[in-house]
Amino acid sequence: MKRPRYFRPAWEMPEIYLYRAPVDFRKQANGLALLVEQELGHNPFSGALYAFTNRQRNKIKCLMWEDNGFVLYYKALAEERFKWPGPSDDLMALNGEQINWLLDGYDITLLKGHKTLRYDHVG
C-alpha cells in the first residue's frame, strides 16, 4: 500500500517550472532565487514553484516564495536517479500532477499518464 504524501507540491499549484540544466546544490534559497531572477528573468517572489536537480540527478530542490519567506523542498534519493529531461535553455512548465510524478520517479518527458478509457457497455 502506498503511503500518503503530506509534504509535496499541491496539484492545484498554478505555476511550476522545471529548470532543465543541472545546478550546483551548494546553492540554498537565496542562490536559487538569484538564478530565477537573473538567468530566467522571472520574479522569484511571484509564488511560482521552480524545480532544480544536481548533475547526478539524484536530488531535487524546489523553491517557492510563500507570503514572507522562501520554502525550499529538498529530496535526495538513496539509490536511484530522477528521470530528468535533457538540458535546454527552455524552462519546462509542469502542473501539480506532473511534478508529483517526477518526485515519484516517473518519466515526465512523456507528459501524460495512462489514457482515460470510457465505455458504454461490457459486451
How do residues 1-35 score in pLDDT, each as one tens digit? 667 778 888 888 889 999 999 999 999 999 999 99
Rounded distance between C-alpha atoms, residue 63 and residue 47, angstroms: 9
Confirm whether 97 is domain-assigned. yes
Res 110 pLDDT > 80: no
Under 8 Å between Cβ of 63 and 49: yes
Grid coordinates representing 107? 518519466
Confirm whether 65 is domain-assigned. yes
| pLDDT single digits (tens) 42-94 | 999 999 999 999 999 999 999 999 999 999 999 999 898 998 888 777 789 99
pTM surpassing 0.75? yes
Confirm whether 24 is domain-assigned. yes
Domain residues for the domain of 88 are 16-110
DSSP string for residues in the chain: -PPP--SS--TT-S-EEE--S---TT--HHHHHHHHHHTT---TTSS-EEEEE-TTS-EEEEEEEETTEEEEEEEE-SS----PPPP-SS-EEE-HHHHHHHHHT--GGG---SPP---S---
Confirm whether 93 is domain-assigned. yes
Confirm whether 1 is domain-assigned. no
More confident call, 36 vs 112 = 36
